[in-house]
C-alpha cells in the first residue's frame, strides 16, 4: 500500500506505475481515491469546526449558569446537543470514507523500483547471472519421481487416499535427505547472523491482509472454516506479522530472522497441480529469511539476501542463475524481486527454487510497523527471501547428484546431517 500523501501529490506517477504493471483496469481506482480523500478531508475540516463551536458554546453554559441565566444556558445546551448529533453523523461518514479509501488503496500496486525491467509476465523476466556450470551428463537422468521411487521414497497413491491430489509421503533415505537440507539451511542462516525462529503456522486475517495482495490471497491461502485463521503459505507471513502495531528501536535495526515452517498453498491458477511429481504441491517445507531495516538500507540487504541463496545451492553442487522479475510478474506489494533458479540436467533448463523481494514500506504501512529514530517514527522496509523450499530443492539436489549407477551422491555439507551417509544406493 502506497502513501496516500504520495498519491495525492503524484496521481499521474501512480497511474504510470499501474500501466507499467499492465493493470490498466486499476487506473480508475486512483481517481476514486482522490475523490474519497477530498470528501474525507472536507468532513475532517467540518468536524474540527463543529468541535470548536461546541467547545465555545460549552464554556458559555457554565458562565450563564453562574450568572443565574438558566433559560439562556438551556438554549445553548440544545445547540450543543444538535452539534453533537451532527458530529456523530459526520464521524460515521468520516469513518466510512476512510474505510473505503483504505480498501481501494490496498488494490493499488506499490511503486516499483526504476531498475525493474518492464514486461507483461514471467516470460519477459531477464537473466542476470549464472553461477556454476550447467552440466548435462552422458547418461540419462530420470524424472525426479522415478529417482525417488527407485529408493522406495515416494508414495503419492496413499497420500491421494488420505489427503487428495497434490500431497505425498516421503520415506526412508529420501525423507532424511529432505530434512537434512532444511536443517543445513537453518544452520547456514544462523552462521550468517540471522536469528532462528519457528513461527505460528496459522495467522489471522488482519495479518494476511497486511503481508500480501488480494490476488495472492485468493490463489494461495487455505482458510480454516469457522475461524479467523489461515494456514500460512510461508513463514514470512508470521514473522512479519509478529511486529504488527509495534514501534521498534532504531538501534535494533536491521532485524534479521530465518524461519522454518511447513507451507500450505492452494496453487490456484494456470499451472495447476503436477500429477506425477513433486514440483507443484499443496504442502512443502521451507527455510525462509526476512529482514526489517531502514528504508535506505533495503537494496544493500536485497543483494545480500539473494546471494545467500545462491551460495547455499552452490554448496550443494547445484548450478543456479538469478532472474530479474519484470514489472508484470511482480506481486502488488513488491518493489523489486528476483528468482533463483536451479539447473535441471534432465530438462536441460533452469527451474525456480526461490524468490527474493523487497517490499519497501508496503507491509509495514499495512501492519503499522515503525522504528523510533532521532527525528521521529518512520515505517521500516521489509524484505523476504527463500533459503530453500523442498521438495523443489530436493529435486535440484537429486538431479544434479544423480550418478550413472542410479545412486545419489550426497553433497559434503550434508554428510553430518545424514548421519555420515555419503551416498544413497538402491536397495
> Smallest Cα–Cα separation from 255: which of 363, 383, 144?
383
Q: What is the pLDDT of residue 65?
A: 77
**Region 90-106 average pLDDT:** 90
Residues of the chain with pLDDT > 70, as a percent, come to: 98
**Region 323-336 average pLDDT:** 96
From start to end of 156-275, where are the E strands?
A: 169-170, 195-197, 202-203, 222-223, 230-231, 247-249, 255-264
Per-residue cell: 30: 486512483
**Residue that the C-alpha cell 491458477 belongs to:** 269
Please give the Cα distance from 193 to 196 (Å, whole number): 9
CATH of 4-105, one of 3.40.50.150, 3.40.190.10, 1.10.287.40, 3.40.50.720: 1.10.287.40
Is pLDDT above 60 for 273? no
Give DSSP secondary structure letters for 245-309.
T-EEEGGGPSEEEEEEEEEE----SSS---SSSSSS-SEEEEEEEEEEE-GGGHHHHHHHHHHHH
Q: Which fold has domain 122-424?
A: BirA Bifunctional Protein; domain 2 (3.30.930)
- Cβ partners under 8 Å of residue 239, min gap 6: 197, 199, 257, 259, 288, 290
Lowest mean pLDDT among 10-24, 71-85, 405-419: 71-85
- Cβ partners under 8 Å of residue 149, min gap 6: none
Q: Average pLDDT over the chain, rounded to whole? A: 93
Please give the Cα distance from 163 to 231 (Å, whole number): 16
Is pLDDT above 90 for 63? no
Q: What is the pLDDT of residue 268?
A: 58
**Region 2-22 average pLDDT:** 95
Residue-wise pLDDT for 129-178, tens only, equals 999 999 999 999 999 999 999 999 999 999 999 999 889 999 999 999 99
Q: What is the pLDDT of residue 419?
A: 96
Listed in order, the ranges of the chain carrying CATH 1.10.287.40 are 4-105
Q: What is the pLDDT of residue 270?
A: 42
Q: Is the dihedral of CA 94, 96, 99, 100 positive or negative?
A: negative
Q: What is the pLDDT of residue 275?
A: 62
**Region 282-311 average pLDDT:** 97
Give DSSP secondary structure letters for 374-423.
TTEEEEPEEEEEEEEEETHHHHHHHHHTB-TTS-EEPPGGGTGGGTT--E
- Cβ partners under 8 Å of residue 49, min gap 6: none
Q: What is the pLDDT of residue 54?
A: 87
DSSP H helix total and E strand total for the chain: 13, 18
Q: To which H or E segment does residue 363 belong?
A: helix 362-367
67 CB neighbour count, 10 Å cutoff? 10
Lowest mean pLDDT among 21-30, 58-67, 71-80, 221-230: 58-67
β-strands 247-249, 370-373 pairing: parallel
Per-residue cell: 244: 504488527
Torsion of CA 209, 213, 217, 221, to 10 degrees: -70
Residue-wise pLDDT for 244-263, tens only, equals 999 999 999 999 999 999 99
**399 near 37, Cβ under 8 Å?**
no
Q: What is the pLDDT of residue 274?
A: 57
Kindly indicate the confidence band of residue 269, based on its pLDDT and cuts at 50, 70 and 90: low
Listed in order, the ranges of the chain carrying CATH 3.30.930.10 are 122-424
Q: What is the pLDDT of residue 77?
A: 85
Q: What is the pLDDT of residue 215?
A: 76
Q: To which H or E segment does residue 370 belong?
A: strand 370-373
Lowest mean pLDDT among 24-33, 77-86, 328-337: 77-86
Please give the Cα distance from 357 to 334 (Å, whole number): 7
- Which neighbouring-strand residues pair with 266? none
- Cβ partners under 8 Å of residue 397, min gap 6: 177, 181, 316, 317, 318, 408, 411
Is pLDDT above 60 for 332? yes
Q: What is the pLDDT of residue 60?
A: 85
Gyration radius (Cα) of the chain, Å: 27
Is pLDDT above 90 for 235? yes
Q: What is the pLDDT of residue 18?
A: 97
**Region 210-231 average pLDDT:** 88
Q: What is the pLDDT of residue 197?
A: 97
DSSP state at residue 116: S
Torsion of CA 53, 54, 55, 56, to 10 degrees: 50
- Which neighbouring-strand residues pair with 291? 256, 383
**240 near 290, Cβ under 8 Å?**
yes
Please give the Cα distance from 296 to 164 (Å, whole number): 46
Amino acid at each position: 500500500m502506497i502513501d496516500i500523501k504520495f498519491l495525492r501529490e503524484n496521481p499521474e506517477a501512480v497511474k504510470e506505475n499501474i500501466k507499467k504493471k499492465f493493470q490498466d483496469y486499476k487506473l480508475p481506482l486512483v481517481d476514486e481515491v482522490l475523490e474519497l480523500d477530498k470528501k474525507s478531508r472536507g468532513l475532517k475540516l467540518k468536524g474540527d469546526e463543529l468541535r470548536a463551536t461546541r467547545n465555545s458554546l460549552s464554556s458559555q453554559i457554565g458562565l450563564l449558569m453562574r450568572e443565574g441565566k438558566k433559560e439562556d444556558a438551556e438554549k445553548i445546551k440544545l445547540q450543543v446537543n444538535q452539534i453533537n448529533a451532527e458530529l456523530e453523523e459526520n464521524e460515521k461518514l468520516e469513518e466510512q470514507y476512510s474505510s473505503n479509501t483504505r480498501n481501494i488503496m490496498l488494490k493499488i500496486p506499490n511503486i516499483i523500483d526504476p531498475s525493474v525491467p518492464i514486461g507483461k509476465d514471467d516470460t519477459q523476466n531477464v537473466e542476470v547471472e549464472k553461477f556454476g556450470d550447467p552440466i548435462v551428463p552422458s547418461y540419462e537422468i530420470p524424472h525426479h519421481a522415478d529417482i525417488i521411487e527407485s529408493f522406495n521414497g515416494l508414495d503419492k497413491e496413499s497420500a491421494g487416499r488420505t489427503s487428495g491430489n497434490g500431497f505425498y509421503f516421503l520415506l526412508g533415505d529420501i525423507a532424511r535427505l529432505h530434512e537434512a537440507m532444511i536443517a543445513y539451511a537453518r544452520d547456514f542462516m544462523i552462521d550468517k547472523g540471522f536469528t532462528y525462529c519457528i513461527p505460528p503456522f496459522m495467522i489471522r486475517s488482519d495479518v494476511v491482509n497486511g503481508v500480501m495482495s488480494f490476488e495472492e490471497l485468493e490463489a494461495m491461502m487455505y482458510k480454516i472454516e469457522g475461524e479467523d485463521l489461515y494456514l500460512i503459505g510461508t513463514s514470512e507471513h508470521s514473522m512479519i506479522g509478529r511486529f504488527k502495531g509495534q514501534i521498534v528501536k532504531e538501534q535494533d535495526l536491521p532485524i534479521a530472522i530465518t524461519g522454518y515452517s511447513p507451507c500450505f498453498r492452494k496453487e490456484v491458477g494456470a499451472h495447476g497441480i503436477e500429477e506425477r511429481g513433486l514440483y507443484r504441491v499443496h504442502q512443502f517445507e521451507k527455510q525462509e529469511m526476512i529482514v526489517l531495516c531502514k528504508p535506505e538500507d533495503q537494496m544493500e540487504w536485497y543483494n545480500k539476501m539473494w546471494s545467500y541463496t545462491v551460495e547455499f545451492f552452490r554448496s550443494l553442487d547445484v548450478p543456479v542463475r538469478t532472474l530479474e522479475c519484470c514489472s508484470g510478474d511482480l506481486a502488488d506489494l513488491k518493489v523489486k524481486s528476483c528468482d533463483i533458479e536451479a539447473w535441471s540436467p534432465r530438462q536441460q533448463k533452469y527451474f525456480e527454487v526461490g524468490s527474493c523481494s523487497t517490499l519497501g514500506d508496503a507491509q509495514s504501512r499495512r501492519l503499522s510497523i515503525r522504528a523510533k529514530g532521532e527525528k521521529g517514527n518512520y515505517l521500516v522496509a521489509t524484505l523476504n527471501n527463500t533459503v530453500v523450499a523442498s521438495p523443489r530443492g530436493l529435486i535440484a539436489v537429486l538431479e544434479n547428484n544423480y550418478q550413472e549407477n542410479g545412486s545419489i551422491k550426497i553433497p559434503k555439507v550434508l554428510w553430518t546431517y545424514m548421519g555420515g551417509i555419503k551416498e544413497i544406493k538402491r536397495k
